[in-house]
Structure 1
Amino acid sequence: MGSLDRWVSERIPISSAQLRELTNEPVPNHLKRWWFCLGGTPAYLFVVQIVTGILLAFYYQPSTGTAFESVRYITEEATFGWYLRSLHKWGATLMIAAVILHQMRVYFTAAYRRPRELNWVIGMTLLMCTLLCGFTGYSLVFEQLSFWGATVAANISDAVPVVGGFAKHMLLGGDEYNSRTLSRFYILHAAVFPMTMILLIGVHIAFIRLHGVTELKFGDEDPNKPDHFNFFPDHILSELMIGLVLMILLSALATILPATMGPMADPQLTPEVIKPEWFFYVSFRWLKLFSLTFAVLSTGFIVAAMFLWPWIDSFLLKLTGNEDISVYIGIVATFLLIGLTVWEAAVAH
């Protein structure tokens, strides 16, 4: 063992003490409450998505002539294919929910304020990438609803001023859904968005290490106890336990509510009702309430405001002198999002 230690230390000149110092950063006590450290949950689910996505890619064939049949084969014939596809589907659902909840936690605890404005922008970019990953993944099955959902999304993007036509053409590979469209969705879903997210997560974590975790204080904390605890092994063990719980939950959902197959896409038959995935219910309802131009422009304005919120919050704070002004706005926005989502979900599809 001595010679092995010498061999390893010569080629990797990092001592165990240096490694502990590098990884064992003290973290605030509020991270013992898992709902305040939701960043690890979507990160774990992202790993699940990568692993299951790679396994599904062995069978999936991204073309209009083969996509539906390859997914049917995975679902009905491949050994444990139904389980892997269901894990991937439910992992995507939980990951999107976790990213949204994490971003809401950051918002309501004002963890985006100086000097963490850029990390908020990175978090918003990760949220957008996650939603787009969900959209492109939904479109890969080439079912009737996913086909027409992608067609509607392309037409909506066409309504964006200046860049809309170009965006639609780049998304579809033409003026309408064609034989090149599905391969573009696949490249975006399996390569472009995941690699972008990996790079952004690396920068996100680097900023967290540089700035430290935003510290929150609670009234029930014992002032005589330390304010921090060790990242390793205490916080790591907590994250591993959450990961095990998530794996059990994913397996249960995949088994009880497995992914199924809808009718194959038919470009000649427009369905009476086009249904998006749940995370786009709010946008779909918004489109139904207003004209297409107003809905697209207002959605763009809202998204831009979300990206710029640290600076908007600073302006509102100076204007009103109220520390909680953003909290009140966030409460109204949350009820609006939930209300529109439930409204759209309640409509018969």
Structure 2
Amino acid sequence: MNGVRNWIQERIPVSGVELAEVTNEPVPNHLRRWWFCLGGTPAYLFVVQIVTGILLAVYYQPSPETAYESVRRITEEVNYGWYIRSVHKWAATLMIASVILHQMRVYFTGAYRRPREINWMIGMCLLLCTLLIGFTGYSLVFEQLSYWGATVAANICDMIPFVGRLAKQLLLAGDEYNENTVPRFYILHAAILPATMILLLVVHIALIRMHGVSELKFEDETDDGPGHYDFFPDHFYTELIIGLVLMILLSVLATVFPAIMGPRADPLTTPEVIKPEWFFYATFRWLKLFSGTFAVLSMGFIVFVMFTWPFIDTLLRRVTRIEEISVWIGIVGVFLLVALTTWEALVPH
């Protein structure tokens, strides 16, 4: 054993002590509370998505002629295919929810402020990629609602001034839904978007390591006590417990509420009710409230404001001299988001 250890040490000259110093970064005390550990939750669910997605890709056939039948075979014939598909579906749902909650936590704790503005923008890119990967995955089943949902999304893209037609063609691989659309969604869902997210995550984590985690103080903390604790084993155990709880939750959801098959896509029959997945409810309701071009432009403006909020926040605090003005604006924004989502969920048409 000593010979093997020496052979490895000679070729990889890193000792255990040095490795511990690199990886065992001090963690602020507020992360002992699990609800502040939402950054690791979507990363864990992303790994679940990759593993289950690879298993599903063994049987999935990305073309309009074969997509629906291959998903039906996975769901009804392949051993444990229904379970793998259901875990994939619920992991996507929880991943989107956890990314949204994590971004909200960062917003309401002011963790986007100097010098972390760039990391906030990277987080926004990760949020958009997560929503897009959810949309493209939903569109791969080639069910009636997913087909018409993709058609509606392409028509929305077409309303964007100047680049709308190009955006629609890039999304559908043509001017309308055709034989190349499902393969286009598949490439986006299984290759381009995951690779983009991995690159963004690497940069995101690197910046967190450079700047450190934003530290929060609570009333029950004493000034003379230690302000940090070790990543390993203390924080590692927290993340491990969260991962185990998520795995149990995913298994329960996949078993009790498994993914089912809807009607096969029929381009000649428009459904009476077209509803997107829940994470687009607010957007869909917004589009129904206003005219097409205004709704699309206003949504683009909202996304732009969210990206540049660290700089807008600095300006608002300087002008109003209200330190927590962003918190009040955020509360209004969350109420609007919840209201629009609930409205769309409850209204049948």
TM-score (norm 1): 0.99
In the alignment, what sits opposite 2:55? 55
Deviation at 1:233, TM superposition (A): 1.3
Between the aligned partners of 1:98 and 1:10, the Cα distance in structure 2 is 43
In the alignment, what sits opposite 1:281? 281
Between the aligned partners of 1:131 and 1:141, the Cα distance in structure 2 is 17
In the alignment, what sits opposite 2:107? 107
RMSD: 0.7
What is the SS of the residue equivalent to 1:224? Answer: coil
- After TM superposition, list the pairs within 5 Å mapping 1:184-199 onto structure 2: 184-199=184-199
- After TM superposition, list the pairs within 5 Å mapping 1:200-215 onto structure 2: 200-215=200-215
Matched to 1:7, the amino acid is W
- After TM superposition, list the pairs within 5 Å mapping 1:260-299 onto structure 2: 260-299=260-299
In the alignment, what sits opposite 1:341? 341
Q: Deviations 1:217-243 (Å, cap 9, x if unpaired)?
A: 000123332110001111111101100
8 Å CA contact 2:281, 2:341 repeated in 1: yes
Q: Deviations 1:3-25 (Å, cap 9, x if unpaired)?
A: 11101111211100100000011
Matched to 1:68, the amino acid is Y
In the alignment, what sits opposite 1:43? 43
In the alignment, what sits opposite 1:227? 227
| Identity %, equivalent residues | 72
Q: Deviations 1:286-319 (Å, cap 9, x if unpaired)?
A: 0111101111000000000000000000110111
Deviation at 1:121, TM superposition (A): 0.2
Q: Within the alignment, does 1:94 sit opposite 2:133 as a pair? A: no
In the alignment, what sits opposite 2:183? 183
8 Å CA contact 2:37, 2:239 repeated in 1: no
Between the aligned partners of 1:93 and 1:313, the Cα distance in structure 2 is 30
Matched to 1:172, the amino acid is L
In the alignment, what sits opposite 2:134? 134
Between the aligned partners of 1:233 and 1:343, the Cα distance in structure 2 is 45
What is the SS of the residue equivalent to 2:310? Answer: helix
Q: Deviations 1:122-154 (Å, cap 9, x if unpaired)?
A: 000000000000000000000000000000000
In the alignment, what sits opposite 1:312? 312
Between the aligned partners of 1:35 and 1:16, the Cα distance in structure 2 is 31
In the alignment, what sits opposite 1:256? 256
Deviation at 1:114, TM superposition (A): 0.3
Matched to 1:253, the amino acid is L
Deviation at 1:79, TM superposition (A): 0.4
Superposed structure 1 runs of 4+ greater than 4 Å apart = none
Matched to 1:29, the amino acid is N
Q: Within the alignment, does 1:236 sit opposite 2:232 as a pair? A: no
Q: Deviations 1:306-339 (Å, cap 9, x if unpaired)?
A: 0000000011011101110100000000000000
In the alignment, what sits opposite 2:83? 83
Q: Deviations 1:7-51 (Å, cap 9, x if unpaired)?
A: 111121110010000001101000011111210000000000000
Between the aligned partners of 1:329 and 1:308, the Cα distance in structure 2 is 15
Q: Deviations 1:77-134 (Å, cap 9, x if unpaired)?
A: 0000000000000000000000000000000000000000000000000000000000
Matched to 1:329, the amino acid is I
Matched to 1:57, the amino acid is A
8 Å CA contact 2:131, 2:279 repeated in 1: yes
Matched to 1:204, the amino acid is H
Between the aligned partners of 1:275 and 1:99, the Cα distance in structure 2 is 22
* Aligned pairs, number: 349
